[in-house]
């Protein structure tokens, strides 16, 4: 267990101190998270409005989703949030190999999440439960406006899924840097910033799960 950093971080030229640099990075990432909330928010507002306008459609739509898969993905993301947080915890303690392992676990959770999503998507597309104009489901009688529900389903989970993918790429980048021993008790800002992003993705899923899978 080494507490020595192989490559000490160099503060960028325009900052006076490391504290200033950390404060700037964190403020920046929080502002970015704020923009993410508002971007997803547009979809949530649309969902809320149309759900009140067409309650039957949303009720029928949710019966096509398997809440067990949704719940599984919820658990996966929650666990991944823990491993992400622990990766920072171990970096703070100077235990860099444990920190790296936690990042690998987080990445694994990301793969499981996307795998489950793939199963869900391919199953629905196979049935013809496609978004909007491509909707071709005919097996049972459905309400006329049902494609609208699936438009929301695909837009919301699709935008969320693209964020999971982006998060996975970033975590992979962290793993590479972590193997090179870039992080330690004195410098772990990238871990923190990507971590915050990853938690936000989890946060959004916490709302998506009951809204899409459990509506009554």
Q: Which is nearer to another protein, 143 or 166 (CB)?
A: 143
| H or E stretch at 146 | helix 146-179
Nearest distance in Å: CB 114, another protein: 19
The span from the CA of 28 to the CA of 57, in Å, is 40
Query: What distances in angstroms separate CA 191 from CA 29, 31, 126, 195, one per listed residue?
Result: 12, 17, 39, 6
Taking contact as CB under 8 A, which single stretch among the options 27-35, 106-114, 118-126, 170-178 is the one that binds another protein? Answer: 27-35
Choose which of 6, 7, 8, 19 interacts with another protein (CB under 8 A).
19
Nearest distance in Å: CB 206, another protein: 5
Binding marks (x or -) toward another protein, 67..106, rule CB under 8 A? Answer: x---x--xx--xx-xx-xxx--x--xx-------------
Taking contact as CB under 8 A, which single stretch among the options 50-58, 109-117, 164-172, 175-183 is the one that binds another protein? Answer: 50-58
The span from the CA of 181 to the CA of 96, in Å, is 7
With binding defined as CB under 8 A, does residue 210 bind another protein?
Answer: yes
Residues 185-204 contacting another protein, CB under 8 A? 185-186, 195-196, 199-200, 202-203
Tokens read off for 197: 């992003």
Of the candidates 83, 76, 75, 73, the one whose C-alpha atom is nearest the C-alpha of residue 104 is: 83
Residues contacting another protein: total by CB under 8 A: 80
């Amino acid at each position: 267990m080494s507490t020595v950093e192989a490559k000490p971080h160099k503060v960028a030229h325009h900052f006076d101190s490391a504290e200033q640099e950390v404060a700037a990075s964190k403020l920046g990432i929080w502002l970015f998270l704020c923009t993410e909330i508002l971007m997803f928010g547009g979809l949530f507002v649309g969902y809320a409005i149309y759900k009140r306008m067409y309650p039957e459609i949303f009720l029928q739509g949710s019966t096509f989703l398997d809440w067990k898969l949704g719940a599984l993905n919820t658990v996966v993301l929650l666990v991944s949030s823990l491993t992400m947080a622990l990766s920072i915890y171990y970096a703070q303690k100077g235990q860099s190999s444990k920190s790296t392992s936690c990042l690998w676990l987080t990445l694994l959770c990301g793969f499981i999440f996307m795998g489950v999503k793939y199963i869900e998507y391919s199953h629905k597309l196979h049935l013809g439960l496609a978004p909007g104009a491509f909707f071709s489901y005919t097996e049972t009688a459905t309400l006329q406006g049902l494609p609208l529900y699936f438009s929301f389903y695909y837009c919301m989970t699709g935008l969320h899924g693209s964020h999971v993918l982006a998060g996975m790429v970033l975590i992979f980048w962290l793993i590479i840097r972590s193997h090179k021993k870039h992080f330690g008790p004195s410098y772990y800002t990238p871990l923190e910033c990507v971590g915050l992003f990853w938690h936000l993705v989890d946060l959004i899923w916490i709302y998506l799960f009951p809204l899409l899978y459990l509506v009554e």
